[in-house]
């Protein structure tokens, strides 16, 4: 602040030169601001965990997370399935197709949760607690952070996990990691240095948002530096001999394209930690690979694997009437899912010229009939998705009001006027009794006419250059028959509108490659929901990485979306953050880069009756690999009866 002495100086200057007084006032104001920033940076916060707003659910002396069974027995095996093939155990490269859960052998400074894929406990959002690090300290201005590591932490081969490994891993991601990730981190993190063997410091840029700084470096996987140096391996290559990790599970066996087995490490260094109590309970986690979902389902019925998360409505409605289910050996459960559903759907490749026109995208959207699809192909079990944060408090509804409206107004011309007055975009409705809703198809064809795609004598739409409106839609051959039927019915409606549309089933490896290279017009893909502001929003929805980000399959590049994300990163209260994220949901829906399809607000799980879980699951995770366990007596009974081998 400018004190009385400074004000007196300004008044003295004003008597001589009024303009000089203004300059002096500005200089003193800037000096005062710099002093206040310095004071904020001087105040050091010490903690056992981290959240951006400083509120933590669990105190420093917590003994375990509230939702786990701390006395859960250890032992037994759980087996799951995966579709298609794999040819790598390195999950951090664009090359190859990584094996399922190959990331789980690694840990980070602030614990990575298998159930959530982030550092937060499953009953809270935006919180992280120490794993490789026992504590951290940072200045109030969040310009740096120091992690104090646990000296007992070890890799699976018994070598210590040190600050030098942390620095090496950070730099490895910058040099050889995904470009969108490396570019984003390099701008925000100025340096990483090992102060000693168990203390590491990160220094951040001062001209960037304070979001996703401490949590970013705190959640980076830590690799053994010596292993990379001795083997000459690279993070950006496909390989089966991945680096060892420090986690409770390590790779036990790999049979390419058939099976991966992870074994619980009895010598794991961190069993005593409160973050690990009641967790990591299976001795073995086995992943069985199958060419397609039909083969995988038959294998489950035969007991070749023991847990199945079902996403196919037809199978859930009609497929589980088999002997093992009838006699009680297989159990079905619908468990509550408190997370926003994945924003999946039919994604437009915005780099394709015809799809740059929003009228074309609106027309192609109208060809999707959710009501008919849900009733005829999905047994009426799904709901229509509208929002990128569906059923959460952040879902935009009606016209913008209050803090959300004020934020949108403050962004100026990047926000179209109709965004301030119109209701949030919602999915269109269709008739459930016929696939080709004539009213919607007429609207769609009118939009295509307006966009310059006229129907020719052969029934196909062409522009004034004579180019056909052609749409290619690849899908993975390992996907479900229901998804194929949904896509086929959608393509049929496009063809009725005069669009030269086709879908093609391709093998999983080719599909992965085409997906990474955006070799499609349409693709069934997903984005990620958001409940908190973070720079990851830029990778998913921002313009700067739009041309190559794997997290942005549409290639969305919107100045309005960029401005809202930037505003969300600058908020300093939860209320302001939530208003910005509601505006972001509204803006993403306005851009119409995806045809929203369906969602389910429950987990559908089927398993051989040998597993147990806490009676009340946490809001943000099913947690089957995290905090479920085997009932040894039930497992023995299934084997004794011959139901399982």
- The strand ranges marked E within 3-143 are 44-47, 49-50, 77-83, 128-129, 133-139
Same domain flag for 625 and 572:
no
Residue bearing tokens 């298609």: 84
Asked if the model's pLDDT at residue 616 lies above 80, the reply is: yes
The predicted model scores a pTM of 0.85
On whether residue 26 sits in a domain, the answer given is yes
Distance separating the N- and C-terminal Cα atoms of the chain = 75
490-533 pLDDT, tens digit per residue, is 999 999 999 999 999 999 889 999 999 999 999 999 999 999 99
Same domain flag for 511 and 589:
yes
Asked if the model's pLDDT at residue 55 lies above 50, the reply is: yes
CATH classification at residue 552 = 3.10.105.10
The domain tally of the chain equals 3
Same domain flag for 335 and 416:
no
User: How far is residue 493 CA from its own chain's centroid?
Assistant: 31
| Diameter over CA atoms, the chain | 101
What average pLDDT does the chain have? 92
280-336 pLDDT, tens digit per residue, is 999 999 999 999 999 999 999 999 999 999 999 999 999 999 999 999 999 999 999
Range scoring the smallest mean pLDDT among 25-39, 46-60, 445-459, 599-613:
25-39
- pLDDT of 178: 87
Same domain flag for 335 and 426:
no
The contacts found for 349-355 with CB under 8 angstroms, 24 or more apart, are: 349/518, 349/520, 349/521, 349/522, 349/523, 349/553, 349/554, 349/555, 350/554, 350/555, 350/556, 350/557, 350/593, 351/518, 351/547, 351/555, 352/521, 354/453, 354/463, 354/469, 355/521
> What percent of the chain stands above pLDDT 70?
92
391-408 pLDDT, tens digit per residue, is 999 999 999 999 999 999
Nearest to 343 by CA among 525, 564, 136, 607: 525
Same domain flag for 390 and 436:
yes
Same domain flag for 466 and 318:
no
- pLDDT of 630: 98
Q: Best-predicted range by mean pLDDT among 111-125, 130-144, 535-549?
A: 130-144
- pLDDT of 42: 67
How far is residue 327's CA from residue 643's CA, in Å, rounded to a whole number?
Answer: 11
Contacts of 42 (CB under 8 A, 6+ apart): 139
Asked if the model's pLDDT at residue 231 lies above 60, the reply is: yes
DSSP-H helix ranges across 402-535: 402-410, 417-421, 438-450, 481-496, 508-516
What is the bridge-based pairing of β-strands 49-50 and 128-129?
A: antiparallel
Bridge partners, 154 (sequence order): 160
Same domain flag for 425 and 488:
yes
On whether residue 223 sits in a domain, the answer given is no
Q: Which of the four pLDDT bands, split at 50, 70 and 90, describes residue 581?
A: very high
Paired tokens of 27:
């200089």
8-24 pLDDT, tens digit per residue, is 443 443 333 433 433 44
On whether residue 147 sits in a domain, the answer given is no
Asked if the model's pLDDT at residue 26 lies above 70, the reply is: no
Instruction: Give me the domain span that covers residue 552.
Output: 344-599
Same domain flag for 318 and 391:
no
Same domain flag for 442 and 317:
no
On whether residue 71 sits in a domain, the answer given is no
Q: Which of the four pLDDT bands, split at 50, 70 and 90, describes residue 143?
A: very high
- pLDDT of 120: 65
Same domain flag for 350 and 378:
yes
Same domain flag for 486 and 534:
yes
Coil/strand/helix, residue 459 = coil
- pLDDT of 479: 86
Exposed, middle or buried by CB within 10 Å (0-12, 13-18, 19+), for 615?
A: exposed
Asked if the model's pLDDT at residue 3 lies above 80, the reply is: no
In order of 9, 82, 232, the CA distances from 94 in angstroms are 62, 19, 18
Same domain flag for 569 and 606:
no
Asked if the model's pLDDT at residue 39 lies above 60, the reply is: no
Asked if the model's pLDDT at residue 33 lies above 80, the reply is: no
- The strand ranges marked E within 104-143 are 128-129, 133-139
On whether residue 323 sits in a domain, the answer given is yes
């Amino acid at each position: 602040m400018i004190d009385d002495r400074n004000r007196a100086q300004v008044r003295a200057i004003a008597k001589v030169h009024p303009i000089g007084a203004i300059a002096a006032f500005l200089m003193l104001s800037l000096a005062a601001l710099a002093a206040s920033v310095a004071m904020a940076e001087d105040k050091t916060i010490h903690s056992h965990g981290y959240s951006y707003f400083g509120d933590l659910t669990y105190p420093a002396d917590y003994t375990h997370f509230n939702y786990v069974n701390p006395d859960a027995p250890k032992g037994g095996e759980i087996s799951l399935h995966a579709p298609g093939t794999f040819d790598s155990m390195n999950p951090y490269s664009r090359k190859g197709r990584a094996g399922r859960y190959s990331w789980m052998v690694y840990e980070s400074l602030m614990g990575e949760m298998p159930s959530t894929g982030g550092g937060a406990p499953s009953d809270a959002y935006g919180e992280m607690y120490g794993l490789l690090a026992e504590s951290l300290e940072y200045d109030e201005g969040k310009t740096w952070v120091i992690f104090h590591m646990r000296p007992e932490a070890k890799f699976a081969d018994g070598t210590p996990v040190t600050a030098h490994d942390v620095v090496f891993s950070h730099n490895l991601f910058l040099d050889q990691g995904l470009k969108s990730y490396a570019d984003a981190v390099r701008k925000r993190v100025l340096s990483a240095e090992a102060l000693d063997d168990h203390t590491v410091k990160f220094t951040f840029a001062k001209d960037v948002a304070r979001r996703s700084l401490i949590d970013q470096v705190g959640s980076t996987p830590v690799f053994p530096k010596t292993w990379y140096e001795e083997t000459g391996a690279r993070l950006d290559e496909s390989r089966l001999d991945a680096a060892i990790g420090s986690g409770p599970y390590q790779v036990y066996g790999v049979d390419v394209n058939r099976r991966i087995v992870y074994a619980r490490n009895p010598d794991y260094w961190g069993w005593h930690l409160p973050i690990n109590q009641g967790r990591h309970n299976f001795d073995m986690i086995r992943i069985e690979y199958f060419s397609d979902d039909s083969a995988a389902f038959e294998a489950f019925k035969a007991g070749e694997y023991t847990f199945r998360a079902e996403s196919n409505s037809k199978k859930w409605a009609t497929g589980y009437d088999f002997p093992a289910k009838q006699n009680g050996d297989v159990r079905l459960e619908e468990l509550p899912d408190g997370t926003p559903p994945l924003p999946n759907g039919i994604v437009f490749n915005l780099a394709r010229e015809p799809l740059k026109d929003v009228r074309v995208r609106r027309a192609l959207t109208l060809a999707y009939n959710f009501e008919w699809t849900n009733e005829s192909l999905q047994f009426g079990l799904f709901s229509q998705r509208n929002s990128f944060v569906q059923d959460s408090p952040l879902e935009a509804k009606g016209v913008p009001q209050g803090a959300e409206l004020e934020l949108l107004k403050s962004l100026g011309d990047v926000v179209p006027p109709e965004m301030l007055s119109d209701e949030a975009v919602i999915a269109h409705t269709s008739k459930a009794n016929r696939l080709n809703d004539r009213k919607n198809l007429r609207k769609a064809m009118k939009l295509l006419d307006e966009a310059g795609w006229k129907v020719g004598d052969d029934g196909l739409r062409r522009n004034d250059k004579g180019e056909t409106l052609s749409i290619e839609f690849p899908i993975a051959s390992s996907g479900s028959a229901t998804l194929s039927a949904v896509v086929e019915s959608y393509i049929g409606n496009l063809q009725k509108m005069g669009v030269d549309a086709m879908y093609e089933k391709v093998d999983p490896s080719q599909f992965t490659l085409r997906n990474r290279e955006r070799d499609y017009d349409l693709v069934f893909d997903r984005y990620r929901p958001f409940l908190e502001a973070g720079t990851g929003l830029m990778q998913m929805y921002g313009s700067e990485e739009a041309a190559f980000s794997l997290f942005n399959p549409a290639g969305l590049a919107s100045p309005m979306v960029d401005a809202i994300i930037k505003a969300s990163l600058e908020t300093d209260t939860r209320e302001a953050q939530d208003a910005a994220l509601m505006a972001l949901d509204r803006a993403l829906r306005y851009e119409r880069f995806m045809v929203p399809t369906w969602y389910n607000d429950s987990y559908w799980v089927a398993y051989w009756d040998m597993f147990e879980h806490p009676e009340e699951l946490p809001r943000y995770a099913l947690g089957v690999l995290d905090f479920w366990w085997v009932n040894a007596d039930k497992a023995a009974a299934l084997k004794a009866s011959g139901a399982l081998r």
